[in-house]
Structure 1
Amino acid sequence: MDPIVLQGSDWAFILSNWDQLLLGTAVTILLTISSLLVGFLAGFPAGAAEVYAPGWLRTPVNTAGVILRGTPIVVLIFLFFFLLPIPQLGTFIIIDAKVKAFVVATIALGLRSAAYQAQVFRGAIQSIDEGQMEAARSIGLTKIGAIRHVIFPQAVRRSVPGFQNEFTIVLKDTSIAFAIGLAELLTRSEQLYLQPGHDSAVTEVIITISVIYFVLTFTTNRALDALEDRYAIPEGSA
């Protein structure tokens, strides 16, 4: 359905198309969440492997991380889009986003995020006293069990500051998904001012989406600050 355009200023035009910006924001938020989740699920094991795994496993994990961190995200998105055997699956009804583009963007952003999150978790793990691993092993836990029950909870709590930075990076990088046709916030914003007769609304559109990105970043970082304060490890307990 074509958006209804109000007569008047460019701001009125943007206001009349708020639903398009809302859909774009929803896609951006979902893409950010899914990418960070993939990054977390792959990043923590990778970070733990760089600390505890034998050389035959640590080396390829480290190499994969270096490659992912050194490759521009737009290149990763294009590579996965054209090389992964993902069929065109239509669109998500609620957010009107192409399924294949969303899946590819999630994989590309998620794996790149995993490469960075691995370093965040590696640093958090290495900050934990080695005696805790030894103590966990001495009471009968396996190395994996010790990582799961002793190291993991502390490492996650210590990684919150680094995770804040990674969230901001992933949120902004979702805009790169426009290259494969994903209708996230930047794409839908561009579609607005490209409508005939509304090219003068470029400044207003850019200001609007900048405010949206700022609000998303600010509120999430404040929430993570509160989370860090709530679950911070007391000094001298590690």
Structure 2
Amino acid sequence: MIDAILESPYINSLPVLFEGLKLTVLITFSGLFLGFILGAIVGIGRLSKKKLVRSISIVYIEVVRGTPILVQVLFIYYGLTEDLIGLSINSLTAAIIAITINAAAYIAEIVRGAVYSIEKGQGEAGRSLGLTENDTMRYIIWPQAFKRMIPPLGNQFVISLKDTSLFSVIAVGELLYMGKQYYNVTYEIFETLLMVSILYLLITIPTSVYLRRLERKLDV
């Protein structure tokens, strides 16, 4: 019985799928880390009193959110040729850039909404204490706003994780791509795609459960 389970097509596909899962997680975490930095800058820019900064931030958010991530990664990988930009972008780099740019647009709105939700009296209190506008943001508003960002940032992680499956079109060896490579050889399509789905769920479901608990704990 045990030997039959171990030799089943479901189990046999796991070594290959785990290799893809590693790359999926790498792309997701790298893209979201860089995306948070860029998104925070754009989000703060969205709130800027300077019209030019605010306008650039709005245009960035609307353009990125208004175009599919699949188009974005194809544009980065195939559109930004070496002749055009002076360097070659491999598929993995293109995938990380795409996640970064795409996630940043959504994170910018998360940042903007969280900062905007802090009572105006908090900023006024900071300035009454002699803090500059930047110091007020850094020491008073941002810590409170960041607490409110955590649940939606977790949701963005789940979305970006699933978005990596689109990068198989540029031959990034993520989870779905490795699954396709495996069933193209074994013809075990149902079994392989079922295991691909299970591996995604093993990440997304615990993450979603944890986020719901965290949201109740933070009371946000």
TM over 0.5: yes
Q: Gapped runs of 5+ residues in structure 1? A: 1-6, 89-99, 234-238
Q: Which runs of 5+ in 2 are unaligned?
A: none
Residues of 1 paired with 2:101 and 2:136: CA distance?
A: 26
Q: Which residue pairs with 1:209 in the alignment? A: 196
What is the CA-CA distance between 1:229 and the residue it aligns to?
4.3
Please give the alpha-carbon distance, in whole angstroms, between the structure 2 residues aligned to 1:102 and 1:224: 28
In structure 1, the residue matched to 2:184 is 194
CA contact (8 A) 1:21 1:185 kept: yes
Per the normalisation by structure 1, the TM-score is 0.82
- For the 8 Å contact 1:157–1:232, the answer to whether it is kept is no
- Return the alpha-carbon distance in structure 1 between the equivalents of residues 86 and 177 of structure 2: 25
Quick check: 1:107 aligned with 2:108?
no
Are 1:175 and 1:185, in contact at CA under 8 Å, matched by a contact in 2? Answer: yes
Q: Are residue 26 (structure 1) and residue 22 (structure 2) matched?
A: yes
CA distances 1:146-170 after superposition (whole Å, capped 9, x unpaired): 2122111111111223223212210
Q: Which has the higher helix share?
A: 2
Number of equivalent positions: 213
Counting only pairs closer than 5 Å after superposition, residues 1-238 of structure 1 correspond to structure 2 as 12-82=8-78, 83=80, 85-87=86-88, 100-195=90-185, 198-199=186-187, 201-232=188-219
Taking only the aligned residue pairs, the percentage that are identical comes to: 33
The 3-state SS of whatever aligns with 1:194 is: helix
The one-character-per-residue Cα deviations of 1:118-141 (angstroms, maximum 9, x if unpaired) are 111111111100111111122222
Distance 1:29 1:53 in 2: 38
Pairwise CA distance, 1:13? 2.7
C-alpha distance in 2 between matches for 1:156 and 1:169: 20
User: 1:72-127 CA distances to partner (integer Å, 9 max, x unpaired)?
Assistant: 11111111113155436xxxxxxxxxxx2222111111111110111111111111
What TM-score do the two structures reach when normalised by structure 2?
0.88
